[in-house]
Amino acid sequence: MASIRIDKPEAARRQLDAAIRMLFSGEDFLAVHTVANAAYRIIRDLAEISGNAQFHEKLKRMIRPGREKHFWASVNKFSNFLKHADNDSTEILDIEEESNDVIICIACLTYESLGYQATPIMVCFQLWHSYLHPDLLSEDNPLKDVLSVQEPHGIRSQPRTEQLNFGKCMVDTNASI
């Protein structure tokens, strides 16, 4: 039987890339979230162990002031719902499908803040997410002007399936970078 030898950053990288591919391929929403959140948990722990505060500073600069609560609420609520049933076994959660986008975005930013090289899949995801949500970018983010002018194929007004398909095309086209 074959075995694999893997460290935590590599495990997180592989999970994050898999979550992005799953998202863009239209796979199960819960499975995407579980894989993305597992990657983020590893990355977040690595950031805490290293004492790295760069991520939080970078994130503060990237999110428009006043939108931080919305950002973090969408990250934590869904993850806690999927992890626990001891106190809320009959709870039903209404969640926006885009919450997976948020956790993947945070994981990519944190991964890079630790000094790891973003994969081509991560870069495509971050660009795709910025195209869809230029309102989340701060005014001094250099992407803000470019993305507000160059919205490809009217992607923001397209149905979610078309937006995901556009992301999949970005990944398929650029995966060899």
Positive or negative: CA dihedral 158, 142, 59, 9: positive
Instruction: Give the least confident one: 27-31, 41-45, 106-110, 172-176.
Output: 172-176
Does residue 102 lie in a domain region?
yes
Question: What single DSSP character describes residue 116?
Answer: P
Summarize pLDDT for 34-77 with one digit per residue, the tens.
Answer: 999 999 989 988 988 887 656 666 666 667 788 877 776 766 77
pLDDT at position 69, please? 79
Does residue 100 lie in a domain region?
yes
Does residue 1 lie in a domain region?
no
Exposure of 172 in the CB half-sphere (CA atoms within 13 A): 9
pLDDT at position 53, please? 59
How many residues are recorded in the chain?
A: 177
Share of the chain above pLDDT 90, in %: 37
Does residue 81 lie in a domain region?
yes
**Surface-to-core class of residue 161, CB atoms within 10 Å of its CB (0-12 exposed, 13-18 middle, 19+ buried):** exposed
- Domain containing 98: what range? 8-174
Does residue 49 lie in a domain region?
yes
177 pLDDT band, cuts 50/70/90, is very low
Does residue 26 lie in a domain region?
yes
Does residue 67 lie in a domain region?
yes
How many structural domains is the chain composed of? 1
Does residue 157 lie in a domain region?
yes
